[in-house]
């Protein structure tokens, strides 16, 4: 993978960051770590991607919170080095779990709260509509939980998906 290809990847990963719900800088840094064989230090990241040291530091912290990168120490070197989570599966789980807990769960919670406090008699039609939404989201919620529950199980589910939706 030559430098040009590498940059093309970094930039496209950066712009597809929306999909994971992370911003451009974070995604670019993540991409850079993904394509680096060896752990790299923050100075190198910052200068290669033209991101300030400060921002680089904050992004690395965030990415660590997400669990998609790891900090490693190299003996005899005072600097911190970083590498992408080496297990692709684990990485994707972490991203999915993060998104779910930040977006999906609060949404579902709010809806349930609303329904529990709503007088069913007052406007039946509306109440039924919202109940339907709640049911669907609840089912999806359980499903996603199972899907994310363990690595091995998820691999099984994936193979189910393959059979169910071949083409």
Does residue number 13 form part of the binding site for its own copies (CB under 8 A)? yes
- Among its own copies, DNA, none, the one that 62 touches (CB under a kind-dependent 5 to 8 A) is none
Closest to its own copies by CB, 57 vs 112, is: 112
Strands of the 40-41 sheet, one edge to the other: 40-41, 80-84, 69-73
Site string for its own copies, 50-89 (x = CB under 8 A): ----------------------------------x-x-xx
Does residue number 43 form part of the binding site for DNA (CB under 7 A)? yes
C-beta atoms surrounding 36 within 10 Å: 16
Name the site residues for DNA (rule: CB under 7 A): 23-26, 41-43, 50-55, 57-61, 76, 78-80
């Amino acid at each position: 993978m030559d430098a040009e290809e590498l940059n093309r990847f970094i930039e496209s990963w950066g712009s597809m960051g929306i999909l994971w719900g992370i911003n451009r800088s974070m995604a670019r840094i993540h991409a850079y770590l993904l394509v680096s064989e060896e752990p790299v230090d923050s100075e190198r990241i910052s200068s290669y991607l033209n991101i300030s040291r400060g921002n680089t530091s904050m992004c690395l912290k965030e990415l660590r919170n997400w669990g998609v990168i790891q900090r490693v120490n190299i003996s005899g070197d005072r600097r911190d080095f970083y590498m992408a989570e080496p297990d692709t599966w684990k990485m994707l789980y972490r991203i999915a779990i993060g998104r779910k807990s930040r977006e999906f769960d609060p949404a579902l919670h709010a809806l349930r709260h609303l329904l529990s406090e709503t007088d069913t008699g007052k406007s039946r039609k509306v109440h039924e509509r919202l109940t339907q939404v709640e049911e669907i989201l609840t089912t999806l919620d359980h499903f996603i939980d199972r899907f994310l529950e363990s690595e091995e199980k998820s691999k099984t589910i994936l193979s189910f998906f393959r059979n169910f939706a071949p083409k």
